[in-house]
Amino acid sequence: MAISKARPSPLPLLSFQLLLTLSLLHPLHCCHASQQPIQHIAVLVLENRSFDHMLGWMKEAFNASIDGLNGTECNHRSTKDPNSPTICVSDDATYVDPDPDHSLQGIKEQVFGSDATPTMSGFVEQALTISEDVANIVMKGFKPDRVPVFTTLVQEFAVFDRWFSALPGPTQPNRLFVYSATSHGATSTDKKHLALGYPQKTIFDCLDDDGLDFNIYFSSAPTTLFYRNLRKLKYVRKFHTFGTFMDHARDGRLATLSVLEPRYFDIASDPANDDHPSHDVANGQKLVKEVYEALRASPQWNESLLLITYDEHGGFYDHVPTPNVGIPSPDGIVGPAPYNFTFDRLGVRVPTIAVSPWIKKGTVVTRPNGPTPNSEFEHSSIPATIKKIYNLTSDFLTQRDAWAGTFEGIVGELTSPRTDCPEVLPDVTPLRMTGAKEDSPLSEFQSEIVQLAAALSGDDYSSSSSFMTVKEADGFVNDAMSKFFQASKEALYLGADESEIVDMRY
Ligand SMILES: *[C@@H]1O[C@H](CO)[C@@H](O)[C@H](O)[C@H]1NC(C)=O
Ligand SMILES: *[C@@H]1O[C@H](CO)[C@@H](O)[C@H](O)[C@H]1NC(C)=O
Ligand SMILES: *[C@@H]1O[C@H](CO)[C@@H](O)[C@H](O)[C@H]1NC(C)=O
Ligand SMILES: *[C@@H]1O[C@H](CO)[C@@H](O)[C@H](O)[C@H]1NC(C)=O
Ligand SMILES: *[C@@H]1O[C@H](CO)[C@@H](O)[C@H](O)[C@H]1NC(C)=O
């Protein structure tokens, strides 16, 4: 067996033999925290929307204890001029085309304005640097009936009204935090580094160390392959097309952890459902509906917990000041110049919803109870909670998941699973009146995925694909991913070491 090679830290051989012997005597599954009811966690991370934008208006509609909007929240056009006109929040968000700024510097201006503390005053001013249109859009939120799937889930299960992005930066660094509690120093998108893969240990490795299983379900390409470890041959059979999730749920074959990756490419026959502007939020709602209904109908429903969150706020307004006191750097790695970010602030608040028959109807979760007085819910709360629920033997991944709040308490209050959870969620009406723009050039995020697929399949991205449309990129990525998975499976079959990664360039 190749176990020792697959492990990041070299331990004495003796302890491996001991572990192996112990695991033969007691199948590992037997000993993991049996008094808590959850055996299957599913995580779905959507793209680029703030809490107030998606859920802020639910305070007025359903529960005054949700920290949402009351309509008096405004930003001045200039943070330096208190007499400048304001733009205030409104509940008429619909389909959004332009993509507001969510770079490290852009977010700093949104959060701090011209103040020294986070006052959430600079969203309008920062958006005005893009256009008048964007300045209007960033202050709009959805009326609850425009996002009917979330509206039902918030009323039936739990909403977190104080869950932040892990850093005030864009998509990929935040996505990296979700399963590894660090971005390994990334504060922006570093395509070369993404294509090579980030080296840190992940929660998947911790599960694997304890003999627990996980599956990753994806459309086009899985962003979890930005972690280099996940490219190892031993994990190749964990990746499945999205439809397989429905089969696994129906047949009671869900693993300890299921990762659900939305569709990032917008094709007429198969529209994107990641909620990233300009993609239609109605497709994200449909995706959540499908996932919920599959889980609700599953024989494993009574042992399941589904968490839905967003990688970052996408430039949309949120009124809750972002925490900036007592936030530990995950691993001491400092971000690149010129900002040299030390990971001492969290990002903007994002919508987070938890679903399980063990959650009391209409729960609103605010602050965690520790582990430190400054602890908050942020993306590192996901690996921290997985570790806690399954009593994993690995240490925390970084200082950040050791610090982040955990939410196992929300499934610890009832003595039996609820039987009144809806079987079907409301239907969703499209908000976008036009078709998918499949001939558009790629967004930054999409070109990162193309670069990943090119790197995995040994293709030269820079020469071949800089002029791809969304539709061409979708085809390219699908081909490249099947080549990579096929080659990995063949290498396994031929007896290659499980800890190896296939390199297709040779
Ligand atoms: C968690 O695992 C440890 C051994 O690693 C064990 O001593 C402890 O009893 C377990 N806790 C629960 C709640 O199962
Ligand atoms: C509206 O909410 C803000 C906090 O977002 C609060 O300061 C203000 O007092 C509230 N106003 C009304 C009229 O409820
Ligand atoms: C879930 O538990 C409830 C309450 O014990 C029970 O009525 C129901 O049949 C169970 N559902 C499944 C799928 O096991
Ligand atoms: C960031 O670090 C570089 C060296 O890596 C240094 O030259 C630069 O002055 C630093 N910038 C700031 C704002 O501290
Ligand atoms: C509002 O949220 C609080 C806190 O979770 C909860 O106790 C209360 O029952 C909720 N109210 C409604 C109407 O759901």
Same domain, 77 and 184: no
Give me the number of domains the chain comprises: 2
Write out the two tokens for 283.
């497709």
Cβ–ligand 4 contact at 338 (below 6 Å):
yes
Please say if the pLDDT value at position 260 is more than 70: yes
pLDDT at residue 250, as a whole number: 97
Same domain, 123 and 27: no
Ligand 5 centre from 363 Cα, in Å? 6
Q: Quick one: angle between helices 148-156 and 281-296, nearest 10?
A: 40
Helix ranges (H only) for 297-443 are 381-389, 399-403
Ligand 5 centre from 300 Cα, in Å? 27
**CATH number (domain holding residue 193):** 3.40.720.10
In a domain, 447, yes or no: no
- Here the contacts of 253-256 (C-beta below 8 Å, separation 24 or greater) are 254/40, 254/42, 254/215, 254/298, 254/300, 254/304, 255/40, 255/212, 255/213, 255/214, 255/215, 256/39, 256/40, 256/41, 256/207, 256/212, 256/213, 256/214, 256/390
| Average confidence (pLDDT) over 455-475 | 76
Ligand 3 centre from 251 Cα, in Å? 16
Same domain, 110 and 205: no
Return all residues near 480 (Cβ < 8 A) that are at least 6 apart.
Answer: 221, 453, 454, 456, 457, 459
Please say if the pLDDT value at position 484 is more than 50: yes
Task: List, chain by chain if needed, residues with CB within 6 Å of any ligand 5 atom.
Answer: 63, 65, 362-364
**Which of 121-135, 243-257, 289-303 shows the lowest mean pLDDT across its residues?**
121-135
Which 8-state DSSP code applies to residue 498? T
Last residue of a domain, one of 355, 386, 411: 411
- The whole-angstrom separation of Cα 99 and Cα 312 is 13
Which protein residue has the closest C-alpha to ligand 4 atom 7?
337
pLDDT at residue 72, as a whole number: 96
Same domain, 150 and 258: yes
| pLDDT-based confidence at residue 274 (cuts at 50, 70, 90) | low
In a domain, 496, yes or no: no
Ligand nearest to the CA of residue 391, numbered in listed order: 1
> Which ligand 5 atom is at minimum distance from the Cα of 62?
13
Q: pTM value?
A: 0.90
> Which ligand 3 atom is at minimum distance from the Cα of 302?
1
The neighbour count for residue 243, using CB atoms within 10 Å, is 10
In a domain, 418, yes or no: no
Ligand nearest to the CA of residue 35, numbered in listed order: 1
Same domain, 127 and 39: no
Please say if the pLDDT value at position 158 is more than 90: yes
Last residue of a domain, one of 387, 411, 435: 411
In a domain, 132, yes or no: yes
Ligand 3 centre from 390 Cα, in Å? 22
Ligand nearest to the CA of residue 320, numbered in listed order: 2
Please say if the pLDDT value at position 26 is more than 70: no
In a domain, 433, yes or no: no
pLDDT at residue 253, as a whole number: 98
SS3 (DSSP) at 352:
strand
Ligand 2 centre from 319 Cα, in Å? 11
In a domain, 281, yes or no: yes
pLDDT at residue 22, as a whole number: 41
CB 223 within 8 A of CB 201: no
Task: List, chain by chain if needed, residues with CB within 6 Å of any ligand 1 atom.
Answer: 33, 391, 393
Cβ–ligand 4 contact at 105 (below 6 Å):
no
Same domain, 77 and 189: no
pLDDT at residue 431, as a whole number: 67
SS3 (DSSP) at 257:
strand
| pLDDT-based confidence at residue 31 (cuts at 50, 70, 90) | very low
Please say if the pLDDT value at position 371 is more than 80: yes
Which protein residue has the closest C-alpha to ligand 1 atom 3?
391
Please say if the pLDDT value at position 457 is more than 50: yes
**Which of 31-35, 196-200, 416-420, 449-453 shows the lowest mean pLDDT across its residues?**
31-35
| Average confidence (pLDDT) over 37-47 | 96
Same domain, 49 and 71: no
Task: List, chain by chain if needed, residues with CB within 6 Å of any ligand 3 atom.
Answer: 299, 301-302, 416-417, 419
Same domain, 120 and 230: no
pLDDT at residue 7, as a whole number: 37
In a domain, 455, yes or no: no
> Which ligand 5 atom is at minimum distance from the Cα of 361?
14
Cβ–ligand 4 contact at 9 (below 6 Å):
no
CB 400 within 8 A of CB 181: yes
pLDDT at residue 28, as a whole number: 41
* DSSP assignments along 431-464, one per residue: S--S---TTSBPPHHHHHHHHHHHHHHT--HHHH
Which protein residue has the closest C-alpha to ligand 2 atom 2?
70
Short-list 168, 165, 202, CA closest to 184: 202
**Which of 277-281, 285-289, 396-400, 452-456 shows the lowest mean pLDDT across its residues?**
277-281
Kindly report, residue by residue over 217-237, the tens digit of the pLDDT: 998 889 999 999 999 999 999
Ligand 4 centre from 344 Cα, in Å? 17
Percent of the chain at pLDDT > 90 equals 68
| pLDDT-based confidence at residue 97 (cuts at 50, 70, 90) | low
pLDDT at residue 264, as a whole number: 79
Q: The domain containing residue 116 runs over which residues?
A: 61-137
Percent of the chain at pLDDT > 70 equals 87
Cβ–ligand 4 contact at 116 (below 6 Å):
no
| pLDDT-based confidence at residue 262 (cuts at 50, 70, 90) | confident
| Average confidence (pLDDT) over 197-218 | 97
Same domain, 122 and 245: no
Which protein residue has the closest C-alpha to ligand 5 atom 4?
364
Same domain, 280 and 212: yes
Last residue of a domain, one of 353, 381, 411: 411
> Which ligand 3 atom is at minimum distance from the Cα of 301?
13
Same domain, 318 and 169: yes
Short-list 113, 101, 131, 47, CA closest to 74: 113
Please say if the pLDDT value at position 183 is more than 70: yes
In a domain, 255, yes or no: yes
Ligand 4 centre from 187 Cα, in Å? 15
Same domain, 67 and 116: yes
Write out the two tokens for 296.
């609700």
